[in-house]
Amino acid sequence: MVRRSYSSAVVAESYLYALKQGAKSINTSFNIDGFAGDKALEMTYRTLSDNDVLIFNSAGNGSTRNSPRTKFEDIILVASTDTSAERVDQRSSFSNWGHGVDISAPGRDIMSTLPNGRVGASSGTSMATPVAMGVDALVRSAHPDWTAAQRWAQVAGTADNIDQRNPKEAGEMGFGRVNAGRALTEELPPPTLSARETKDAQGSTTRITVRFEKVFDPARANHEEAWQVRNSEGEVVLKGAPREIRLHTNEISFDVGSLPAGSYELVGSAKHLVDPFGQPLDGNQDGTAGDDFVKEFVVLQRPASEA
Domain ranges of the chain: 8-185, 193-299
8-51, pLDDT tens digit by residue? Answer: 999 999 999 999 999 999 999 889 999 999 999 999 999 999 99
User: Is the whole-model pTM more than 0.85?
Assistant: yes
* CATH number, span 193-299: 2.60.40.1220
pLDDT digits (tens, 9 = 90+) for 46-56: 999 999 999 99
Which of these, 34, 64, 60, lies nearest to 124 by C-alpha position?
60
Question: 75 to each of 49, 53, 159, 281, 307, how far by Cα in Å?
Answer: 8, 10, 17, 24, 41
Half-sphere exposure of 290 (CA within 13 A, CB side): 1
Identify which of 129, 64, 74, 75 has the alpha carbon closest to the alpha carbon of residue 97.
64
Q: Does domain 8-185 fall into CATH 3.40.50.300?
A: no
Among the listed ranges 4-13, 17-26, 231-240, 276-285, which one has the minimum average pLDDT value?
4-13
